[in-house]
């Protein structure tokens, strides 16, 4: 007598357009806009606004360029599944794992930034010690929120993003009356070299919004993924560009640096200490939303899909019966993120510089392969795209611009410091060794098992 098969636990499809949009907007790296903009001003002057705008446009092109894949092939693994289908299993594994691992790295560094912002509200505390304590505390809290389910996480993200938008719009309205046009001149005090130097900082600031594509297995209507990619792009690009222009008009560029939040500085001038406190709340929310859905939601979903496809250990593919969340994957990510926070105590440069740069490289490579897969998808499966009901406008403009942008940002990030090739070569080699030793055979074995079940 055959034993009854255990019904496979699958994700719940309960995410609406506004939740998907909020995940995209909130996944923009929070500490990048609020802290790295200061460094951007220090090297590019007011022209940093233009450099960040270019970086945001590149991110928008990437997002729109991936729209057809997101709608036509909705899944939790996003680029891992797309790239596997059109470029091969090895590259699919590489693309998905690189993106997810990048989010784990981001969780470690952004949580420290979140801890430091929190310390601003408690000036009597030891900043170095409590930044670590707050970082670990919030990482744990956000992991718990994710364990409560994708719908709960998305609703919380939506509320936080709305709060952030209200703060940023309020700053824009008040700040526009405090602008001193003379602060915008000279626009490029360090010439075009300064502008180019600010581009990687802008890339880091806008990086991450593609995360919403990992909602594919949980969205009610896959077409909302395409709409969300466009809407999220326009939202963060317009909102942040306007606010950055106002900051540039309020504060002389030579008074800003990496140690100063330009928004807090400008808010203090425009609205006094209360305004500075409100903008610090905005910085806290931006970092929180980034960790909430980027580090825990997106990374756990990609690990889940890679596990289901046989590329990673099976425990990462387990979903809870009640909330349908990859609980073990979320806990695994929490442990990794906390270890990175603790590592930052021993070697801050390794976490904030070496790993942060490698995260950017990993994501650019992952996006590049996904954009190529999107171009191939349009060529090989036009009927499938038509049936899905969402076509990107002006094809192939956005994927081509996205690819050019990826290559250019990679070049200017590495230029002048070619030693960055060494850690890049190391992790790429380790990833491919892992694939050959573990993932390749496990994936084949899983595929054989599935074929045998289909025959039965």
Quick one: three-class SS letters along the chain? CCCCCCCCCCCCCCECHHHHHHHHHHCCCHHHHHHHHHHHHHHHHHHHHHHHHHHHHHHHHHHHHCHHHHHHCCCCCCHHHHHHHHHCHHHHHHHHHHHHHHHHHHHHHHHHHHHHHHHHCCCCCCHHHHHHHHHHHHHHHHHHHHHCCHHHHHHHHHHHHHHHHHHHHHHHHHHCCCCCHHHHCCCCCCHHHHHHHHHHHHHHHHCCHHHHHHHCCCECCCHHHHHHHHHHHHHHHHHHHHHHHHHHHHCCHHHCCCCCCHHHHHHHHHHHHHHHHHHHHHHHHHHHHHHHHHHHHHHHHHHHHHHHCCCCCHHHHCCCCCCCCCHHHHHHHHHHHHHHHHHHHHCHHHHHHHHHHHHHHHHHHHHHHHHHHHHHHHHHCHHHHHHHCCCCCCCCHHHHHHHHHHHHHHHHHHCCCHHHHHHHHHHHHHHHHHHHHHHHHHHHHHHHHHHHHHHC
d(CA 288, CA 294): 10
Phi, psi (rounded to 5 degrees) for 15: -95, 130
Measuring CA to CA, how many Å separate 246 from each of 49, 215, 252? 10, 34, 11
Q: Closest Cα partner for 95 from 311, 355, 289?
A: 311
Query: Which residues face 15 on adjacent strands?
Result: 219
d(CA 79, CA 82): 5
Phi, psi (rounded to 5 degrees) for 417: -140, 70
d(CA 267, CA 172): 10
d(CA 188, CA 194): 7
Joined tokens for residue 79: 């680029």
Measuring CA to CA, how many Å separate 331 from each of 201, 211, 294? 30, 19, 15
Q: Which residue has the tokens 């289908």?
A: 85
Measured in residues, the chain has a length of 456
List all residues 6 or more positions away from 203 whose beta carbon is below 8 Å from its beta carbon: 55, 58, 59, 360, 409, 413
d(CA 138, CA 47): 35
d(CA 369, CA 373): 6
Q: Is the dihedral of CA 234, 239, 242, 248 positive or negative?
A: negative
- Walk along the chain (456 residues) and give the pLDDT tens digit of each residue: 344 444 567 888 989 999 999 998 888 866 667 777 888 888 899 999 999 999 889 889 999 999 999 999 999 999 999 999 999 999 999 999 999 999 998 888 889 888 988 998 898 999 889 999 999 999 999 999 999 999 999 999 999 999 999 999 999 999 999 999 999 889 999 899 889 888 888 887 787 888 899 999 999 999 999 999 999 999 989 998 999 999 999 998 888 776 667 888 899 998 888 888 898 898 888 889 989 998 999 999 999 999 999 899 999 999 998 889 999 999 999 999 999 999 988 888 787 778 888 888 899 999 999 999 999 999 999 999 999 989 988 899 999 999 998 888 888 877 767 788 888 899 999 999 999 988 877 776 666 555 555 445
d(CA 443, CA 199): 39
Q: Which residue has the tokens 């496990």?
A: 442
List all residues 6 or more positions away from 96 whose beta carbon is below 8 Å from its beta carbon: 77, 78, 79, 80, 81, 83, 302, 305, 306, 311, 366
Phi, psi (rounded to 5 degrees) for 128: -65, -45
CATH 1.20.1740.10 at 17-443, yes or no: yes
Phi, psi (rounded to 5 degrees) for 221: -130, 115
pLDDT value for 1: 39
d(CA 264, CA 247): 9
d(CA 261, CA 31): 9
């Amino acid at each position: 007598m055959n034993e009854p098969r255990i019904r496979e636990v699958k994700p719940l499809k309960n995410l609406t357009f506004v939740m998907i949009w909020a995940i995209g907007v909130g996944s923009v790296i929070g500490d990048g806009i609020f802290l790295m903009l200061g460094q951007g001003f220090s090297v590019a002057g007011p022209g940093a606004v233009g450099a960040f705008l270019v970086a945001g446009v590149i991110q928008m092109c990437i997002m729109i360029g991936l729209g057809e894949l997101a709608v036509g092939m909705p899944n939790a693994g996003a680029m891992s599944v797309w790239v596997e289908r059109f470029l091969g299993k090895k590259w699919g594994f590489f693309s998905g794992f690189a993106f997810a691992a990048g989010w784990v790295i981001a969780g470690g560094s952004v949580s420290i930034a979140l801890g430091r912002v929190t310390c601003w509200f408690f000036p009597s505390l030891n900043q170095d010690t409590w930044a670590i304590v707050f970082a670990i505390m919030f990482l744990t809290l956000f992991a718990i929120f994710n364990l409560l389910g994708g719908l709960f996480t998305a609703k919380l993200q939506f509320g936080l993003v709305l709060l952030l938008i209200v703060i940023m719009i309020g700053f824009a309205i008040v700040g526009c009356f405090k602008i001193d046009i003379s602060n915008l001149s000279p626009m490029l005090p360090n010439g075009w070299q300064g502008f180019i130097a600010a581009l990687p900082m802008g890339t880091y600031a806008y990086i991450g919004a593609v995360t919403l594509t990992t909602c594919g297995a949980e969205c009610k209507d896959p077409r909302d993924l395409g709409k969300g990619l466009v809407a999220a792009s326009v939202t963060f690009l317009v909102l942040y560009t306007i606010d950055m222009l106002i900051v540039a008009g309020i504060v002389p560029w030579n008074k800003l640096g990496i140690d100063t939040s330009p928004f807090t500085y400008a808010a203090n001038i425009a609205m006094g200490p209360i305004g500075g406190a409100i903008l610090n709340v905005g910085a806290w929310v931006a970092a929180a939303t980034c960790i909430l859905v980027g580090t825990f939601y997106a990374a756990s979903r990609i690990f889940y899909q890679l596990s289901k496809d046989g590329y990673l250990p099976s425990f990462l593919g387990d979903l809870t019966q009640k909330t349908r969340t990859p609980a073990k994957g979320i806990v695994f990510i929490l442990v990794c993120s906390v270890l990175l926070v603790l590592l930052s105590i021993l070697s801050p440069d390794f976490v904030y510089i070496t790993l942060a740069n490698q995260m950017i490289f990993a994501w650019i490579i992952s996006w590049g392969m996904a954009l190529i897969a999107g171009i191939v998808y349009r060529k090989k499966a036009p009927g499938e795209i038509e049936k899905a009901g969402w076509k990107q406008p002006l094809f192939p403009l956005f994927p081509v611009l996205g690819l050019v942008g990826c290559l250019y940002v990679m070049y200017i990030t590495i230029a002048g410091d070619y030693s960055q090739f060494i850690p890049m070569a190391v992790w790429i080699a380790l990833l491919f060794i892992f694939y050959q030793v573990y993932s390749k055979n496990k994936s084949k074995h899983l595929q054989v098992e599935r074929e045998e079940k289909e025959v039965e």
